[in-house]
Chains A and B, each alone.
Chain A
Amino acid sequence: MSTGAYWICLKGIVWREALRFVHQRERFISALVRPLLWLFVFAAGFRQVLGVSIIPPYETYIPYEVYIAPGLMAMIQLFNGMQSSLTMVYDRETGGMRTLLVSPFPRGFLLSAKLMAGTFVSILQVYAFLVVAWFWEVEAPWYGYLAILPAMLLTGMMLGALGMLISSLVKRLENFAGVMNFVIFPMFFASSALYPLWKMREASPLLYQICALNPFTHATELIRFAFYGKLDLLALGVVAGCTLLFLAAAILAYDPARGLIARRAGG
């Protein structure tokens, strides 16, 4: 296969994901409403309770809405990653995943292309969210809106790869509610998305350690810093490392000879 053929294939996979997204209007609306609820309702209530002091990358006191916006952006990508993995389990039960995997391209490439497609859709969702948030006075310098693009490419890939890995572990679609309870909620709440980690340290040093180890914390921080045109090197390192790790594990899980799907599939 030539390089051109790889490009055609990647483009095709991303294009199809975008088309499917456009056609599933409910999915788009719920992807938009979820973070907006957090922003409008949760943050409005919480700003009275929680004062956020000046911590990097912020240079002044900020309203709580501004603080949680990057966490909500990461949350959009987290949900999107899990949703794509749910689609993958569903696709496996129908023929969608099988037609993807019967393509003659290397499987690692196909799965990475699928992740990129999901990430692309999640980035569209984030920008839609930012448009609404802008009217809610969550604003960043113009270059921040550009700088989050590469950051979200990486965080989207990381969360998508995690979702893909989980999809290989989940045998049936019905088991998926567990993913909500055991993956999405802990990852989101035990992170720096809703409260700065120093606040957490005051509450419980152990919880602080857990939050500091959570890859989602680093995804949030990478986006937060990028939003103000800054780079958090630690976050970048952790997110890049986790992306490679999760991706390698997901590709292994879908490997025909050793893969988990081989041992699980019946019939």
Chain B
Amino acid sequence: MVTEPVLQPALNVDAVSYAYGKVRALDQVSFAVPPARFAVLLGLNGAGKSTLFSLITHLYAAQGGSITIHGAEVAKAPGRALAQLGVVFQSRALDVDLTLRQNLIYHAALHGIGGKEAETRACSLLIRVGLEAQIDARVATLSGGQVRRVEIARSLLHRPRLLLLDEPTVGLDVKARADILAHVRVLVAEEGVSVLWATHLFDEISADDHIIALHRGRVVADGAPNAIAARFGATTLQEAFVRATREMAEATP
């Protein structure tokens, strides 16, 4: 068993800023994802969600502040930080011409997992997402929802403790969306994986999620949906979000 302080967050983002030239994408963003929780990064398009994901995944480095994954700082110990991180990107990452098995073995190799071990993990993860029968099918033959499920299986190959998903339900129908969401919630409940789920869809949020609302590169609300609603004198989270973003618009002319 790994011993660590109970309160150490899965992900800690501390005063992170980022600008593309003069355009500020993130401004002093701070929040934490508690361990074994389903956290939602809520924001409209252009809120800075993708930039934040690029920084957490070390695609590029934050210009200010720090990002820590289970105690490993991304900028200083990228190897240790990234080893604990699984990511489902918004854009597809699988080779459509290759089979599920080939794809998963390749991605296992990217984490230094090879041979029998890679095969075993690929099979058990595909069973978990209900696609074991398609293991030797080409990705191109799968539906959009199935591809997403394989992406989730892919992101779990190295048994990460934190899973990042960037709008994973984009372009899926209602059933597939509910399906993916249910799969990820099971991971949190049964495996104790921490999740940061980026979305702009309020119906993907449940009452006991941890919400981080991002608007124009700033955190406008952070906490449980009810608490956020109450703070802004609203009855629903959506109403609170609208008020919060309006307040911000009035504060910054």
Contact = CB atoms under 8 A, between A and B. Distances in A.
Interface in A40-61: none
Q: In which size bucket is the chain A interface?
A: 35 or more
Nearest to B54: A265
B89 A99 contact: yes
B12 interface: no
Contacts of B75: 257
A12 B109 contact: yes
Contacts of A177: none
Contacts of B98: 16, 19-20, 23
Contacts of A1: 79, 112
Given A98-B57, A256-B59, A261-B60, A93 B114 contact: no
Contacts of B189: none
Contacts of A267: 50-51
Contacts of B108: 12
Where chain A touches its partner, the secondary structure class is helix
A99 B112 contact: no
A84 to B, nearest CB: 14
A263 B115 CA distance: 39
A104 B91 contact: no
A98 B93 contact: yes
Contact of A257 (B57, B60, B105): B60
Contacts of A262: 59-61
A13 interface: yes
Contacts of A257: 60-61, 75
A169 to B, nearest CB: 16
Given A9-B112, A16-B106, A19-B102, A99 B79 contact: no
A98 to B, nearest CB: 5
B114 A103 contact: no
Contacts of B54: 265
Nearest to A96: B93
Contact of A101 (B58, B91, B97): B58
A102 B60 contact: no
A103 B91 contact: no
A5 B112 contact: yes
B95 interface: yes
Interface string A158-173: 0000000000000000
Nearest to A7: B114
Contact of A6 (B85, B95, B105, B112): B112
Interface of A: 1-2, 4-6, 8-9, 11-13, 15-16, 19-20, 23-24, 93-96, 98-106, 256-257, 259, 261-263, 265-267
A154 to B, nearest CB: 25
Q: Which of B20, B78, B109, B113 has the most CB of A within 10 A?
A: B109
A1 B80 CA distance: 10
Contacts of A16: 95, 98, 102, 106, 109
Interface string B201-218: 000000000000000000
A80 to B, nearest CB: 18
Given A8-B112, A103-B82, A106-B79, A263 B92 contact: no
A4 B109 CA distance: 11
Contact of A102 (B80, B82, B92, B115): B82
B110 interface: yes
Q: Which of A95, A100, A257 has the most CB of B within 10 A?
A: A95
A100 B108 CA distance: 11
A266 B85 CA distance: 23
B87 interface: yes
A126 B101 CA distance: 29
Given A1-B79, A12-B105, A99-B154, 5 more contacts: A11-B109, A12-B108, A19-B95, A98-B87, A262-B60
